Amino acid sequence: MELVRKTGSEVVDDDDDDITCPMLPGLPDDIAKYCLALVPRSYFPRMGGVSRRWRSFMKSKEFIVVRKLAGLVEEWLYVLTMDSEGEGTHWEVLDCLGNKRFVLSPMPGPVKAGFGVVALNGKLVVMAGYSIIDGVGSVSSDVYQYDSCLNSWSKIANMNVPRYDFACAEVNGVIYAVGGYGMDGESLSCAEAYNPETNKWTPIESIRRPRWGCFACAFEGKLYVMGGRSSFTIGNSRFVDVYDPVNHKWWEIKNGCVMVTAHAVVGKKLFCMEWKNQRKLAIFNPEDNSWKMASVPVIGSSSVGFRFGIMEEKLLLFSLEEEEGGYNTLLYDPKAPPGSEWQTSNIKPSGLCLCCVTIKA
């Protein structure tokens, strides 16, 4: 089998015909795929440089499916952290033991704020956002995808509407983007969906009212949008917009969470941290649209806040206040017996956590 050479971050095929060669000589392709799926995740980027067929397979959703069937999927945390000087950011990757695996190469394009981040099919997708270039503000529709198996960035289809401070989430393999601010700072009610199979964004029905600073999550195949502000309400919105992808329709419930500084879905429940109450978790059960509160065991400054991550069906709380020894992390286990839900965790980013995404591959 012909090997490839690398030029920078690009992979160059020495044999364009290797797409017709067997994946592993002497083995049927289905057995070869299973063998490739058995390799530990840390070797994936090197494997992607062996041949075009290997690389194509590793970029596909099938590769993750085979890994799952083999019981070898690994969870890694992709954490966007603030540099120690506070002048820049970078993505770093941590495993379930808190070991730092590597730092991602810088994302293409200008530095942005107000962008959306979603994990999809073992890939990190970073969408839209607001940037300042030569003193001029600009709203983007650019979308970049990081392949966690091949350790590479690529640009995918632009969104139809440039936006920032919007809600986004993945539902049944499709990414949804809702609301936010537009090109001229106007609040948006429009929404769109990205299909990775076609690499296309398609407009869907708009929500009833413009909404910004909101967030989204998925439950039972439906998209929930809550928090933030709406031009039709005074103050922060408690309305929850729910979208059914099957019937292509929105409806509303009136029991949402407002001014959310962090959120994560663990199991079948949503965990939120509200701006006005940094010492309690607000836990939403979509089965009956009910909320309950859980105290956070934090002492010291009343200004402590958190960003959330997820690891092995447990909630990670990354502190926004640096203590001696760095930023500490709490762990909440929803399945633990009452009174023993809280622990400390060894999983710590190198700096302030700005956002965190779990990718299984």
DSSP string for residues in 42-63: GGHHHHTTT-HHHHHHHHSHHH
What does the alpha-carbon distance between residue 334 and residue 267 come to, in Å, rounded to a whole number?
Answer: 9
* Total domains, the chain: 2
Nearest to 171 by CA among 244, 77, 248: 244
Instruction: Pick the last residue of a domain from 69, 91, 121.
Output: 69
| 302 closest CA partner among 274, 324, 321 | 321
Query: Which residues, including other chains, have CB under 8 Å from residue 120's CB and lie 6 or more apart?
Result: 170, 173, 175, 196
Q: In Å, how far are 37, 121, 299 from 85, measured between CA atoms? A: 40, 34, 26
Note whether 234 and 148 are same-domain residues: yes
149 shares its domain with 242: yes
Give Dmax over CA atoms of the chain in angstroms. 69
Mutual angle of helices 61-69 and 52-59, in 10-degree steps: 80
The tokens describing 284, both together, are 């939403």
- Pair type for strands 240-244 and 191-195: unpaired
Structure tokens at 111: 């530095």
Between CA 296 and CA 313 the distance in angstroms is: 18
What is the residue range of 114's domain?
107-258
The answer to whether the Cα torsion of 54, 59, 61, 63 is positive or negative is: positive
For residues 166 and 187, what is the distance between their CA atoms, to the nearest angstrom? 10
Are 35 and 162 in the same domain?
A: no
Q: Which of 241, 278, 243 is nearest to 259 (CA)?
A: 278
Evaluate whether residue 211 is within a structural domain: yes
Q: Does some domain include residue 65? A: yes
Query: Do residues 226 and 121 both lie within one domain?
Result: yes
Are 198 and 57 members of one domain? no
> Of 258, 274, 298, which residue is a domain's last?
258
Please give the Cα distance from 276 to 146 (Å, whole number): 35
246 and 152, same structural domain?
yes
pLDDT of residue 324: 61
Same domain, 37 and 144: no
Half-sphere exposure of 194 (CA within 13 A, CB side): 28
Q: How many CB atoms lie within 10 A of CB 330?
A: 17
Q: Are strands 211-212 and 10-13 parallel, antiparallel or unpaired?
A: unpaired
Confirm if 304 and 291 have CB atoms less than 8 A apart: no
- Alpha-carbon span 142 to 109, nearest angstrom: 9
Positive or negative torsion for Cα 50, 54, 56, 58: negative
Q: Based on the domain organization, do 130 and 233 belong to the same domain?
A: yes
> What is the helix (H) or strand (E) element at residue 237, kind and residue range?
none
Query: What's the alpha-carbon Rg for the chain, to the nearest Å?
Result: 21
Reading the chain (361 residues) residue by residue, the pLDDT tens digits are 233 333 333 333 444 446 678 899 989 999 999 999 999 888 888 898 898 999 999 989 899 999 999 888 899 999 999 876 667 899 999 999 999 999 999 999 999 999 999 999 999 999 999 999 888 999 999 999 999 888 899 999 999 999 999 999 999 999 999 999 999 999 999 999 999 999 999 999 999 999 999 999 999 999 999 999 887 666 678 889 999 999 999 999 988 888 888 999 999 999 999 887 777 899 999 999 999 999 888 765 555 689 999 999 999 999 887 766 566 899 999 999 998 999 999 999 988 999 999 999 8
Same domain, 123 and 182: yes
CATH number at residue 180: 2.120.10.80
pTM of the model: 0.90
Residue 16 burial (CB count, 10 A)? 9
Please tell me the distance from the alpha carbon of residue 179 to that of residue 167, in angstroms, as a whole number: 6
Q: Which residue has the tokens 């909101």?
A: 214
Q: Are residues 52 and 113 in the same domain?
A: no
Looking at 258, 291, 306, which one is the last position of a domain? 258
Asked whether the beta carbons of 208 and 250 are under 8 A apart, the reply is yes
